[in-house]
Structure 1
């Protein structure tokens, strides 16, 4: 009876349902074995597809409906493994086994049940969390095709505060990604660019010679980042379909402005709320950066009193300190801030490995839902995940449209800027 018990428990671990087929309810056993073989077949098929058609696997794994289906299936298997294990323990007739073996037999069966059923339950929990995140953040709109072989995404780091009316983008970046290789170019745009040209549309009609070039604009200063505020607060009717399309009038105005500055077609945007940025960094356990020159944290709104300094040297930053590192204005320039912001972006990308994201997945997903607003559709997530795996293996080209690259924000030469961007985003052609 002891050997029989060990065999039944072992079979239940190797092929759930087989113990019932040998010594119990064969109908339940056939159902358990069939479910087990089905799961194995799905796993093998998934592995094969991953190597043959990875984009399809990524797409399936990043669709909210699919994630909820996966969660339901995993919960089914968790319950099935609990039922089969408890029934297997009944079949062992453990009271008829050797007293010295009873605890080990029951312990092995229990540990296996906790590992299998508990693992499936936890995976279902992750799938539901991911499904909620994908559904809350990403749109159901149809995907946009690449333009000239590239996807161009506008990243806006926005901040709303008591010292300003509405929300104003303080960090403006375009990430241009080669649709075939994943090679990425990051283009940093100073928020104080003047006389901004616009892509064809309502703002180009209103400001044909550049933003504020003729008779000024409707806000205090006619900078690039003022475009959002003007349209969102003063002229939202310029973009009447923005909200229905999953965007905002101010966002669409910034899209036209950034496209006019860079000469690129902007397919998608990502708006990052800087206060939510704190939660994201904290959820990842902080971020490490190398600080060349100490950066102050201020105690007042005039940015003159300093409470503490960040750096110099390698510093581990929590969310609050990371936000200060990105925003500090004391004895610094907008171009220094741009450099620090891009440094943080790259550090977070490099340090967001699967281990720390999975271990804190709920917090990361919750922070992301509060942090990010975007019009990237769910149907393109698989493609972008695949491209991201390629991008991470390649050096990122960075262009800062600052005086260091002979760009004068007060009197910018936009033909020159267009050429800079074009040279940096040429899609490489295969060698003959």
Structure 2
């Protein structure tokens, strides 16, 4: 219907107004684009926000949340230690690190693509691509290394700390109370020639490390491999089998099969399962022998394959010791085979794995007691080299070596507590006592009552035990590792 005056009808209004979008922002120069990209690399998401993408707020929020998770572990390093001994979580962490890096690299590249100037010369385009690539590579290196460390640690924990079934470890320990209320934890350090999985090896190095669980103050007791008549605790089934000590009732028996270093192989062969279910009956038997002989509890053991010791020392970067007299390399006294060389005397000698092995094992021209004392010095030298920075720097090699040469019954859940205690031990001076041949000690017929008095006095110096004179002075070896050259002709 027409209106009066012939006026035309006005056009209809559009239902929706056109939405005007603000154009996304770009940098005017290549330097500006790279600056925005670096900002987005440091704080992922901020580069998106600068270009006008709201997605940047979500990315930035996710990044801050990730920082919060990292901070949760960093603020209490014990949480990080707990994580370090959980193989499944470590493998998950390695995957997460890979995913996070890929996501980060994607945001960096896309930030640059969105922020770069609309028009650039070929040189500028090439330069921008090179800078962004280098930025991603620089971050990729630590990301990949971290993922490798997590995977390596997971494999090490699963291989060495596999919660070995044992009959002699404490049963009253938990992650909350790792020492079961005890003031000291005692770990038996064993060195044997042979694979750690073999049962027929001989433990030629026997050292008990007793650590104060509160202060880390420690004492090492070295026992000779040829000690006879090792005792067993009165409440041990082995005491019933050997009431007079580890000896044979056959006068014609080979004495070599009844020394301390033969307990590991002989007891499981003679009395299998006598201590109960165990994956390493030999280690359980040696723990009992040391406990009965010294009159202390022995909680755990750590066995190292001496044939792989060379690789361990090389992995840690060598050790530094004082050499007081010529030490033979190779050679067999019994067979009349002379050494092929010698370690020459000198202070603060840095030894690689090969020479460290012979420093610990060389017997040509010396006896078991001298070798035992050098082994004690080698333990101390390894402790000195095992600072956190050096261990972390060489961790890949150390872990791979450790998987092959170490075996222990320390429960996995207690390892964070042991790491914490080890750091305390490193901050203190480790005292050392060795039972060497003297007018008070003979490995062929040990006076175990005297030995136990020595141990008690060493562990409780403020409460002297009988006899009143300090018998420990005869076997104190705290300074044996110092430089005291022996006046002897050099071979």
TM-score (norm 2): 0.78
Q: Which moved more, 1:116-125 or 1:363-372?
A: 116-125
CA apart distance, 1:166: 2.7
Residue pair 1:153, 1:174 contacting (<8 A) in 2 also: yes
Residue pair 1:9, 1:105 contacting (<8 A) in 2 also: no
Q: Does 1:46 align with 2:73?
A: yes
In 2: Cα distance, 1:226 partner to 1:219 partner: 11
Between structure 1 and structure 2, the one with the greater Rg is 2
Equivalences for 1:122-137 in 2 at 5 Å? 122-137=145-160
Q: Which moved more, 1:319-328 or 1:262-271?
A: 319-328
CA apart distance, 1:401: 1.6
Partner of residue 249 from structure 1, selected from 281, 294, 300: 281
Q: Deviations over 1:175-195 (max 9, x none)?
A: 111111111111111111122
Q: Does 1:63 align with 2:47?
A: no
| Bigger helix share | 1
In 2: Cα distance, 1:343 partner to 1:234 partner: 35
Partner of residue 207 from structure 2, selected from 170, 173, 177: 173
Tell me the residue number matched to 1:82: 105
CA apart distance, 1:146: 4.5
Tell me the residue number matched to 1:34: 61
Residue pair 1:24, 1:91 contacting (<8 A) in 2 also: no
Equivalences for 1:151-230 in 2 at 5 Å? 151-160=185-194, 166-199=200-233, 200-212=235-247, 215=250, 220-221=255-256, 222-230=258-266
In 2: Cα distance, 1:114 partner to 1:139 partner: 36
Q: Does 1:316 align with 2:344?
A: no
Structure 1 residues 122 and 104 mapped into 2: Cα distance closer, same or farther (>3 Å)?
same
In 2: Cα distance, 1:278 partner to 1:125 partner: 24
In 1: Cα distance, 2:163 partner to 2:377 partner: 32
Residue pair 1:78, 1:118 contacting (<8 A) in 2 also: no
Q: Does 1:415 align with 2:449?
A: yes
Q: Which has the higher contact order (CA 8 A, sep 6+)?
A: 1
CA apart distance, 1:375: 0.6
Equivalences for 1:275-354 in 2 at 5 Å? 275-299=307-331, 302=335, 304-313=337-346, 314-354=348-388
Equivalences for 1:94-133 in 2 at 5 Å? 96-97=119-120, 105-133=128-156
CA apart distance, 1:428: 7.9
Structure 1 residues 74 and 267 mapped into 2: Cα distance closer, same or farther (>3 Å)?
same
In 2: Cα distance, 1:201 partner to 1:408 partner: 25
Residue pair 1:192, 1:225 contacting (<8 A) in 2 also: yes
Structure 1, unmatched stretches of 5+, are none
In 1: Cα distance, 2:265 partner to 2:108 partner: 62
Residue pair 2:84, 2:153 contacting (<8 A) in 1 also: no
In 2: Cα distance, 1:101 partner to 1:18 partner: 23
Pairwise CA RMSD of aligned residues? 2.7
In 2: Cα distance, 1:340 partner to 1:36 partner: 53
Tell me the residue number matched to 2:479: none
Aligned partner of residue 316 in structure 1, secondary structure: strand
Residue pair 1:94, 1:102 contacting (<8 A) in 2 also: no
In 1: Cα distance, 2:51 partner to 2:230 partner: 79
Structure 1 residues 318 and 107 mapped into 2: Cα distance closer, same or farther (>3 Å)?
same
Tell me the residue number matched to 2:428: 394
Q: Does 1:11 align with 2:39?
A: yes
